[in-house]
Structure 1
Amino acid sequence: MANVIDPSASMAALFGARVRRLRVAAGLTQVQLGSLTHVVSTRITQIERASGAKPTLKLARALDAVLGADDLLVELWPYVYREAFPDWARQFMEYSEQAVGVREYAAHVVPGLLQTEDYARTVLSVGRTLGGKEQLEERVTLRMERQERLASPDRPELWVVLDEAVLRRPVGGQVVMRAQLARLLATATEGHITVQVLPFDQGEHDVMGGSLTVLTMPDGAEVAYTENAHYGQLVEDPDEVRSFALTYDRLRAAALPPLMSLDMIRSVMEDNHRGAKVPSRSERRRLAQEQLQQSGGRQLRGGGRRVSVRRPGA
């Protein structure tokens, strides 16, 4: 009994304790369970003792199926996985899953919620210490699964401001990037998603060198998350969050209106943007107003925000 880990010590310990209990109930040895799940017996020992590398999602599914856990182990696995992240990152992930509104400024890459699978695979394979191809594919799968919430009944309102650099950096090569830009264009048909582009000609701003996300929770409270290449910070203090929300609104106001942003994305995708001149702010607003009126009686207000207008007799 000295080798039995306290299940309350961590999510990995709880997971291991459940595996051990189910294995014993099934009358299996660690060697037998390892054989049935196609891993060495020492891997089962590590899982039950919460030592060594954390189980992969593939292994959690295999253990669940062999032990007849009725998805218990699969449902526990995300919490085990999150323990690999710092506390602030885990908490931000939990907030994100509950948020009813997501406002995000991305300085370097397309936000995870809008990434294609190939684009995500490229991003996740850079600057990380992975345990191999299996772990990479596992993380890609998780990212794609998180996108499913955008199609669910409780989907959040997503507003994304992309730095122009995000469009022009060919992550994964031209083929991958073209598909990613096409994915961004497809958001035009999704009423709960708005994408704007912050062009280079806007110059310096308050979030240079990093990214910013402001989440709105079901109770109306807000939290902010800032991130650079190596570190992220979760901000919960109401006064600080209000300051970050104002910063985001300024970025949104400085960005191209939604329809003109889609035009720029399309231009980059078609590689016909060379030599194109970004119009002045007043001209952009005038053109965007005309485009919006032509597209169904909508008007612009405050940095390109779309406001529906009731038509006469409607």
Structure 2
Amino acid sequence: MSGNEEERPERPSEVDGTAHLFSALGKMLKVLRRNAGLSQTELAEITHCSEDLISAIERGVRTPQPDFLIRADPAVRAGGVLAAAVDDVREARARTRHPDWFRSFAKAEGEAVALHYYAVQAVPGILQTPAYAESVFRHRRPLYDEVTIEKRLADRLARRVIFEKWPAPTMSFVVEESVLRRPLGGREAFREQLCLIAEAARMRTVHFQIIPTDREEHPALEGAFTLLTPKGRREVAYIESYRHARLITDPEEVRMYTERYGVIRAQALTPYESLDAIEKMPGEL
């Protein structure tokens, strides 16, 4: 799944009042910074971040990292006020890490006991390296600003924690061969991406398959989708296209995607054949 994103810089969610928390912290930081006689550039240097980030936090359009609040507190002579908000910010960030339209899927993905991804345009987001993911975000249109790219990248890479879970969810990927022939991010970066895919494909909890481009039949030309089974619940499907995301729970509609995925897997190379193909690809670039 490519993980399409919103076109404007994301505001923190209004859910549970978290937007008000971040807005208040931003205004407080701005007053404290000015009272301390610091410019945004100077505070950025002290806290080891960008001036754009300081501006975004003060305007309430970027959620501050807890580490930033700890570094900023003495710099703006806050007397522990900013540091005292760290626990609340951690809890709020956990709820607002993803855009509102994506959050229902992100939550389901993190709790799932089974995950099945079919990709047609790009490497599934959960398998992307930093360089590959940055290229996806940096070259989309309309363009993202640097702050949004940074946040989208951090959010996407955070999803990889699912590979460290135990008991691990059952995971499978079916990817079109054309995706693995498109060197997004440059050839060197794409070699790294292929190596990461091969590493995942060797995991005993993961099945990775490639659909060769020369297949004469195809049951899913409508686009990518994901099937996931939340713990204790029925399987659901997820689709997205140009900011329009949909989590499908209707049993009959989900059954359609499940049947489609089964046919796709049958037409793909086996996991062993796919791994062999992936391991040869870096040398072909």
Runs of 5+ consecutive residues of structure 1 not aligned to the other structure? 1-6, 48-53, 273-314
Q: Match of 1:51? A: none
Q: Match of 2:7? A: none
**1:256 pairs with one of 269, 275, 282:** 269
- When residues 34 and 78 of structure 1 are mapped into structure 2, their CA distance, relative to the original with a 3 A threshold, is farther
Q: Is the 8 A contact 1:37 1:62 kept in 2?
A: no
Q: Match of 2:34? A: 31
Q: Match of 2:230? A: 217
Q: Is the 8 A contact 2:116 2:227 kept in 1?
A: yes
**1:107 pairs with one of 120, 123, 126:** 120
How far is the alpha carbon of 1:98 from its aligned partner? 1.2
- When residues 44 and 70 of structure 1 are mapped into structure 2, their CA distance, relative to the original with a 3 A threshold, is closer
1:123 is aligned to 2:136:
yes
1:72 is aligned to 2:88:
yes
Q: Based on CA coordinates, which of the two structures has the bigger radius of gyration?
A: 1
- When residues 32 and 247 of structure 1 are mapped into structure 2, their CA distance, relative to the original with a 3 A threshold, is farther
- Greater relative contact order (Cα < 8 A, sep 6+): 2
- When residues 161 and 266 of structure 1 are mapped into structure 2, their CA distance, relative to the original with a 3 A threshold, is same
TM-score normalized with structure 2 length:
0.75
Q: Report the identity percentage.
A: 31
**SS across alignment from 1:170:** coil
How far is the alpha carbon of 1:164 from its aligned partner? 0.8
**SS across alignment from 2:284:** coil
User: Would you say how many aligned residue pairs link Structure 1 and Structure 2?
Assistant: 251
1:197 is aligned to 2:210:
yes
**SS across alignment from 1:197:** strand
Structural mapping, 1:37-186, within 5 Å: 38=44, 46-47=59-60, 54-58=61-65, 61-63=67-69, 66=73, 67-68=82-83, 69-82=85-98, 84-86=99-101, 89-129=102-142, 132-186=145-199
After superposition, the CA RMSD in angstroms is: 3.1
Runs of 5+ consecutive residues of structure 2 not aligned to the other structure? 1-13, 45-50, 74-81
How far is the alpha carbon of 1:56 from its aligned partner? 4.4
**SS across alignment from 1:201:** coil
TM-score normalized with structure 1 length:
0.69
CA shift digits 1:216-258 (9 cap, x unpaired): 1100411101234553322111111111111111111111100
**SS across alignment from 1:181:** helix
CA shift digits 1:174-227 (9 cap, x unpaired): 111111111111124311111000112223423215101000110041110123
Partner Cα distance (1:44, 1:241) in 2: 40
Q: Is the 8 A contact 2:137 2:144 kept in 1?
A: no
How far is the alpha carbon of 1:63 from its aligned partner? 3.0
How far is the alpha carbon of 1:269 from its aligned partner? 2.4
CA shift digits 1:92-132 (9 cap, x unpaired): 12211111111010001111111111111111223255553
- When residues 206 and 57 of structure 1 are mapped into structure 2, their CA distance, relative to the original with a 3 A threshold, is farther
CA shift digits 1:266-293 (9 cap, x unpaired): 2332219xxxxxxxxxxxxxxxxxxxxx
- When residues 195 and 222 of structure 1 are mapped into structure 2, their CA distance, relative to the original with a 3 A threshold, is same
